[in-house]
Amino acid sequence: MELELVAEGLQFPEGPIAMADGSVILTEIQRQTLSRVAADGRRETIAELPGGPNGAAIGPDGAVYVTNNGGSFNFIDMGGLNVPGPTPPGHEGGSIQRIDLTTGAVTTLYTECDGKRLIGPNDLVFDRQGGFWFTDHGCTTAEGRKFGALYYALTDGSQIVRWRDHFVSPNGVGLSPDEKTVYMADTTLGRLWSFDIAAPGVLADAPPLMPGNVVVTLPGYQLFDSLAVEADGRVCVATIINGGITAISPGGATEHFAVPDVIVTNICFGGADMRDAWITASGTGKLYKARWPRAGLRLNFNG
């Protein structure tokens, strides 16, 4: 896969959104901003987002919705590689935020569910009805791991539902082309889960003794981050340690596309034929563009 370097000097970029004008909107977790990278690589700040802006998606009203982890990890410089470190002791939790692209105004929609604080919201995806699935990554404390969960919520702040919990480290989330399945990547396990959808925003009952269906668990020590879905249903998961993108068929077959960074965190699709792919190489602070071998799935409210 031939890569074009679009931008560098980004401060742990995540959540890329391919825009119709050729720019990419993304979060910079360490800089604590929602940013725009123009086609020529110029960067500008759209909004300041204290804490840890993580995933981002265009909603039905044209605003950007962000999963903010609340600053759930420090950053460690390991010889020029920017690595997320342990959760700071003062971390109180994260939120779901809405950013108006015209004014830059920021609104916080959710900080809790059923009286329980959100820990570290990580990624989100909108369905055709305009609601969104999102993951809470949890966090690591001195005493151990706070587990994460899979949620569904509405954009007006009126409804948030915790559908599955007690996952080690939920990260990327996406929908199958027919929206009958929601996919979720677990970072630490290197595992891709799938969950059957009974109705919009409603999961079907889980299999006996299991929270969902296992699509694949990668061998060895490979970690998963965020994901995007192809038009044919393959799930493309950003892969850490074995840096690159792992494309996974619904049946579990895999193929790997290498990227020169061991902390590859996201991929998104755009362009007229949906074969332009933008990839965040977060350890080195770079944004790459490539021609993908197949078309990506067009997201519901992203032009």
- Could you report the per-residue pLDDT of 223-255, keeping only the tens digit for each? 999 999 999 999 999 999 999 999 999 999 999
Residue linked to tokens 């305009």: 130
Burial degree of 280 (CB within 10 A; 0-12, 13-18, 19+): buried
- Cβ proximity of 53 and 98 under 8 Å: no
Whole-Å CA distances, 21 to 41, 107, 164: 13, 25, 37
- 255-301 pLDDT, tens digit each: 999 999 999 999 999 999 999 999 999 999 999 999 999 999 999 99
What are the DSSP calls for 93-141, one per residue? Answer: --EEEEE-TTT--EEEEESEETTEEP--EEEEEE-TTS-EEEEE--EEE
pLDDT at 142 over 90: no
pLDDT at 138: 97
The span from the CA of 204 to the CA of 53, in Å, is 30
Find the mean pLDDT for residues 101-127. 97
Q: What whole-number percentage of the chain has pLDDT above 70?
A: 100
pLDDT at 51: 97
pLDDT at 167 over 90: yes
